[in-house]
Structure 1
């Protein structure tokens, strides 16, 4: 896969993808999934990186969770570390398609292994609005967002029923 020419327009994300994504994926620090045009070369048109993390319960007052190893102060979550679309493919549905895949996978895996929330930190207000439209809620004084597992399961079940 060619990562060196990927450009989403956010310097931090572009730098990470070009220099660290494959190393982090190989070390299982993050699971990095790339989107490509069907039948095209290996140039990614977008990607997302997921990781499991431990979050503090006090930051998500009222959110359902199972304590991490019996410690009620912490619980495991799935974290979307990055989601990016190549600049020349933005606003064409690539990011929305990748988010649907993330949410569907979260519904399946979260249900199986007990991850109650998908969490993320949006880059700006427009991105936060996009995630709110998918059912994400704000926490950490609005800096972070979460999607409850049950919301993801409901979305998955609605999509399957529509097929």
Structure 2
């Protein structure tokens, strides 16, 4: 995809998911069978990625959800308690991010992640979400997220990005 642009579009019934294959059977199955249902029910916000000017083929996607995290998992993190309960607070969770197998290793995943972080900066500021959290599939992916500023928690299983880090990244991109 070097030199080409991608476009982002919220999931809808006009988008075909049947031919999508990222190589992870669980993710492929969810995207093909449940992603639109989950999106329509607002369980996840699913955004599909296409080559610019070609909405006929999904080359990637990401799914975000708001979740409640236990404060004890993230000691020292500033947050606003969830409905006054100081044990829990809301976060944005990146549930899935996938790129078609034949499009991988071309910078699409990195471009999607930039969009996710920019979305988080906007959503986090608007509705008070202090962290973007995720669970990487493997150590190579975890190293990529660490290079973006994510930190490990839950004994290294989960990762989080503070809102201020996302805002700073957004400001750095806007300032260019």
In which range does the TM-score fall when normalised by the shorter chain?
A: over 0.9
Whole-angstrom CA distance in 2 between matches of 1:67 and 1:157: 27
Whole-angstrom CA distance in 1 between matches of 2:59 and 2:93: 21
What corresponds to 2:125 in structure 1? 111
- The equivalent position to 1:120 in structure 2, one of 128, 131, 134, is 134
Q: Is 1:92 paired with 2:106? A: yes
- Structure 1: gaps of 5 or more residues: none
Displacement over 3 Å in runs of 4+: none
> Residue 52 of structure 2 aligns to a residue in which SS?
coil
What corresponds to 2:65 in structure 1? 51
- The equivalent position to 1:147 in structure 2, one of 129, 136, 161, is 161
> How far is the alpha carbon of 1:108 from its aligned partner?
1.2
What corresponds to 2:11 in structure 1? none
> How far is the alpha carbon of 1:41 from its aligned partner?
4.2
- 1:1-163 equivalences under 5 Å are 1-162=15-176
> Residue 96 of structure 2 aligns to a residue in which SS?
strand
> Deviation digits for residues 109-128 of structure 1, max 9, x if unmatched?
10111000000000000110
What corresponds to 2:7 in structure 1? none
Whole-angstrom CA distance in 2 between matches of 1:61 and 1:152: 20
TM-score by length of 1: 0.98
Over the residues paired in the alignment, what is the CA RMSD in angstroms? 0.7
> How far is the alpha carbon of 1:75 from its aligned partner?
0.1
- Structure 2: gaps of 5 or more residues: 1-14
Looking at secondary structure, tell me which structure has more helix per residue: 1
> Residue 36 of structure 1 aligns to a residue in which SS?
strand
> Deviation digits for residues 49-83 of structure 1, max 9, x if unmatched?
00000000000111121110111100000000000
Count residues with an aligned counterpart: 162
> How far is the alpha carbon of 1:89 from its aligned partner?
0.5
